[in-house]
């Protein structure tokens, strides 16, 4: 059955009847059924309760004709097992109570034991697979070593990544040791999801675009390579970042069957940088979904045109859908992708 | 005298004895002498009091061997004259009390009358020119139409530019009318600075990198072209943006003697995109200044190497210096630029 999923075929650059589409953060706050659950449970509680995570994963599939589900989780879920004190402050996103500052802090980080630290994730994956039956394949994911490291160093989200780059530039040995540990955690976390049954993986290096390609090559590439290499041959791998126009070619070297790109880069230009022997995922500007339906349709058409009907195009937004997005506009997008790409 | 300034020669792509260097936000909070003044005056008061603006403009030139001064001002100073209610909230940056939302809001915006609305700026420019004598040339600046428009639409700084893109995508006629008015304001504001005596101009399109190059071409290029065209032949023009790796070639079409680029793009790659018939300004990652001196020097060397000794390189950070930067590290950078680039 699996072999016939449009999404998985596109990951392998096989011809498909129409372009598959899913949406980063498709399980989330723009849906009122999500907000209804969220009103009664904290964000981490929702992640850690398999029944809730599974329910929220399935919500968008009930509404929209998406070609893939993605397990409801947060890229920071592997951190608490390492000894990182993670909370989600109201309206402020993740807060890390004990940011890493020193070599000793790095040494104190523990390896991830998925069975002990994130068993709820495997349980949620198994529940979703059971409920989805053959409706759509399920994607698992993790933050990439750099993006996870940046949260742990900054103590949360960041604008200028001062702590991250200060360690990287000023104490490269500590940086490399930190990234080694992060890579091991990410590998263990992703392998655990594959064992539980996800049918594809996305590695989110969401903030890597704050680096020059030279810094990426020196400080990040070895670790993303290690992670993607360890998972190669299991399930299709999507390698995603934003702001990557200057480093996409270098990112590609790390691996991935499909490269995710944001809306800044025209897909034809992305393929020109990457070469034709890789899939590309993207790349409608998420803000397009605030525009009237006819504008959404015209812009979907433009993305499809840039992809030029290539095997290996997976339609997505260039980054996650925003919480205030009108859900009926998501419907417009999904319908337009399928209709306009029908072969 | 003017003709011999290293900075102005580089703007014209003439050979120089060593690479000129200045720093965006060089007049600012990382200097304790700035903070001492700021403790007694509000930010807008400092901008609007010629003696204070002139003093703050000169502070970094007393400390460091910078090759240019830049007038102390804010890119949002032209807004109040248009009828935009601008304040600076403590620690939160600019707040606009009456963001533009409708066509009627756009129509209500008034043209800028520099003599009435920003006379303090001309006064400050004249004072600085007098005090600088032949020490260094003085740069004036403005926000570009897009970047100014984004503040007016969002009501301040923004992460996702939802209001900006919603108007752009959903009501293109209103958008174009708004940008026409913004362009006229920016032209008047920059011409006023030239008349007062600035010897170069920088157009800050700081946030334009949130757009795809297709959107830039349709919604921004005509207006940046109009602005830069109106100023052509007066003083050298620097055209700056961040996150522009995917749209630098398109931005170049708008004009400018020098293109400013952030740290993401290697300078050799920037020139490959731009062609050799334009200057390039940049592009040390501002966070480099938090690293130890030997790292700063090595990274300055790398930027100079990427520039390859081309006539037309102006050394700068890739974006503004951050308030917590150690000033002694700025000294390290300036000294290294001059020493390592000496012909």
pLDDT for A89 equals: 82
Report the relative pairing of strands A200-205 and A93-96 from DSSP bridges. Answer: unpaired
Radius of gyration over alpha carbons of chain A, in Å?
Answer: 19
Find chain B residues with C-beta within 8 A of A171's C-beta. Answer: none
Residue B229 in any domain: the answer is yes
**For the domain that residue A94 is a member of, what is the CATH number?**
3.20.20.210
* B231/B255 Cα distance (integer angstroms): 10
Confidence band for A242, pLDDT divided at 50, 70 and 90: very high
Same domain? For A11 and A37 the reply is: no
Residue B163 in any domain: the answer is yes
Q: Is the ipTM reported for this complex over the cut 0.90?
A: yes
Residue A3 confidence (pLDDT) above 70: no
Residue B269 in any domain: the answer is no
Asked if A295 and B263 come within 8 Å (Cβ–Cβ), the reply is no
Percent of chain A scoring above 90 in pLDDT? 97
- Are the beta carbons of A79 and A86 closer than 8 angstroms? yes
- Are the beta carbons of B325 and B18 closer than 8 angstroms? no
* B190/B342 Cα distance (integer angstroms): 33
Q: Which two tokens stand for residue A253?
A: 């070297």
Output the CA–CA distances (angstroms, integers) from residue A11 to A311, A314, B274, in the order listed: 9, 8, 35
The sign of the torsion formed by the CA atoms of A106, A107, A109, A112 equals positive
- Are the beta carbons of A21 and A284 closer than 8 angstroms? no
Residue B139 in any domain: the answer is yes
Mean pLDDT, residues A155-177: 96
- Provide the number of CB pairs (under 8 Å) joining chain A to chain B: 96
* A45/A29 Cα distance (integer angstroms): 15
The residue of chain A nearest to residue B306, with distances taken between CA atoms, is: A214
Same domain? For A7 and A32 the reply is: no
Tell which of B196, B225, B260 closes a domain. Answer: B260
SS3 state at B58: helix
pLDDT for B90 equals: 79
Mean pLDDT, residues B9-33: 97
Quick: pLDDT tens for B201-255: 999 999 999 999 999 999 999 999 999 999 999 999 999 999 999 999 999 999 9
pLDDT for A91 equals: 73
pLDDT for A90 equals: 79
Residue A332 confidence (pLDDT) above 80: yes
B207 interface with A at CB cutoff 8 Å: no
Tell which of A213, A242, A260 closes a domain. Answer: A260
Please tell me which residue in A6, A13, A25, A48 is annotated as part of the active site. Answer: A25
Asked if A162 and B263 come within 8 Å (Cβ–Cβ), the reply is no
pLDDT for A1 equals: 43
Asked if A265 and B287 come within 8 Å (Cβ–Cβ), the reply is no
Q: Which of A53, A59, A106 is nearest to A84 (CA)?
A: A106
Asked if B287 and A211 come within 8 Å (Cβ–Cβ), the reply is no
Please tell me which residue in B5, B30, B34, B151 is annotated as part of the active site. Answer: B151
pLDDT for A222 equals: 98
A171 interface with B at CB cutoff 8 Å: no
Q: Compute the mean pLDDT over every residue in chain B, rounded to the nearest whole number.
A: 96
Told to judge if B151 belongs to the known catalytic residues of this protein, a careful annotator would answer yes
The shortest C-alpha distance from A117 to chain B (Å) reads 33
pLDDT for B34 equals: 98
* B217/B87 Cα distance (integer angstroms): 32
Same domain? For B44 and B135 the reply is: yes
Same domain? For A55 and A190 the reply is: yes
Residue A2 confidence (pLDDT) above 90: no
Quick: pLDDT tens for A201-217: 999 999 999 999 999 99
Percent of chain B scoring above 90 in pLDDT? 97
Confidence band for B326, pLDDT divided at 50, 70 and 90: very high
* B132/B286 Cα distance (integer angstroms): 26
A329 interface with B at CB cutoff 8 Å: no
* B161/B145 Cα distance (integer angstroms): 15
B286 interface with A at CB cutoff 8 Å: yes
Find chain A residues with C-beta within 8 A of B266's C-beta. Answer: 212-214, 246
Range of A273's domain?
A: 1-19+262-343
Peptide bond into A283 cis (omega under 30): yes
Same domain? For A232 and A288 the reply is: no
Same domain? For B116 and B194 the reply is: yes
Quick: pLDDT tens for A27-81: 999 999 999 999 999 999 999 999 999 999 999 999 999 999 999 999 999 999 9
Told to judge if B264 belongs to the known catalytic residues of this protein, a careful annotator would answer no
Same domain? For B217 and B232 the reply is: yes
Quick: pLDDT tens for A186-201: 999 999 999 999 999 9
Residue B2 in any domain: the answer is yes
pLDDT for B92 equals: 75
Same domain? For B152 and B106 the reply is: yes
Quick: pLDDT tens for B31-49: 999 999 999 999 999 999 9
pLDDT for B52 equals: 98
Asked if B290 and A214 come within 8 Å (Cβ–Cβ), the reply is no
Interface with chain B: mutation pick from A30, A175, A243, A264, highest number of B CBs within 10 Å: A264
Contact residues, B window 221-280, toward A, CB-based 8 Å cutoff? 243, 245-247, 263-266, 269
Find chain A residues with C-beta within 8 A of B160's C-beta. Answer: 286-287, 322
Residue B265 in any domain: the answer is no
pLDDT for A151 equals: 97
Quick: pLDDT tens for B156-189: 999 999 999 999 999 999 999 999 999 999 999 9
Quick: pLDDT tens for B93-129: 899 999 999 999 999 999 999 999 999 999 999 999 9
A316 interface with B at CB cutoff 8 Å: no
Q: Which of A13, A155, A198, A248 is nearest to B265 (CA)?
A: A248
The shortest C-alpha distance from A50 to chain B (Å) reads 31
Question: Model's pTM, two decimal places?
Answer: 0.96
Told to judge if A151 belongs to the known catalytic residues of this protein, a careful annotator would answer yes
Same domain? For B243 and B116 the reply is: yes
Residue B336 in any domain: the answer is yes
Asked if B212 and A243 come within 8 Å (Cβ–Cβ), the reply is no
Peptide bond into B129 cis (omega under 30): no
pLDDT for A223 equals: 98
pLDDT for B89 equals: 82
The residue of chain A nearest to residue B291, with distances taken between CA atoms, is: A170
Tell which of B231, B260, B289 closes a domain. Answer: B260
Quick: pLDDT tens for A279-300: 999 999 999 999 999 999 999 9
Confidence band for B2, pLDDT divided at 50, 70 and 90: very low
Same domain? For B108 and B157 the reply is: yes
Same domain? For A80 and A227 the reply is: yes
Same domain? For B42 and B20 the reply is: no
Total number of domains constituting chain B: 2
Mean pLDDT, residues B131-143: 97
pLDDT for B62 equals: 97
């Amino acid at each position: 059955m699996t072999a016939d999923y449009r999404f998985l075929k596109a990951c392998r650059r096989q011809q498909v009847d129409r372009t598959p589409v899913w949406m980063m953060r498709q399980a989330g706050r723009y849906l009122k059924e999500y907000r209804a659950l969220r009103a009664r449970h904290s964000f981490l509680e929702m992640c850690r309760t398999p029944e809730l995570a599974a329910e929220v994963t399935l919500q968008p599939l009930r509404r929209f004709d998406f070609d893939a589900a993605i397990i409801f989780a947060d890229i920071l879920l592997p951190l608490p097992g390492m000894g990182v004190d993670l909370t989600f402050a109201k309206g402020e996103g993740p807060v890390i109570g004990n940011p890493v500052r020193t070599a000793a802090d790095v040494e104190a980080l523990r390896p991830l034991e998925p069975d002990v630290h994130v068993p709820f994730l495997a349980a949620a994956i198994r529940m979703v697979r059971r409920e989805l039956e053959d409706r759509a394949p399920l994607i698992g994911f993790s933050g990439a070593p750099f993006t996870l490291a940046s949260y742990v160093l900054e103590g949360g989200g960041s604008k200028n990544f001062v702590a991250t780059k200060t360690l990287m530039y000023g104490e490269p040995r500590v940086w490399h040791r930190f990234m080694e540990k992060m890579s091991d955690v990410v590998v263990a976390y992703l392998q655990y999801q594959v064992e539980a049954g996800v049918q594809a993986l996305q590695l989110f290096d969401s903030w890597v675009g704050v680096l020059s390609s030279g810094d990426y090559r020196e400080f990040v590439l070895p670790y993303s390579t290690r992670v993607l290499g360890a998972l190669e041959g299991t399930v299709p791998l999507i390698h995603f970042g934003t702001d990557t126009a200057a480093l996409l070619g270098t990112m590609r070297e790390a691996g991935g069957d499909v490269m995710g790109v944001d809306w800044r880069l025209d897909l034809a230009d992305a393929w020109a940088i990457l070469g034709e022997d890789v899939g590309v995922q993207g790349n409608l500007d998420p803000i397009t979904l605030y525009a009237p339906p006819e504008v959404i349709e015209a812009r979907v058409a433009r993305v499809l045109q840039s992809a030029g009907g290539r095997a290996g195009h997976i339609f997505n937004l260039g980054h996650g859908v925003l919480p205030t997005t009108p859900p009926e506009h998501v419907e417009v997008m999904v319908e337009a992708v399928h209709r306009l790409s029908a072969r």
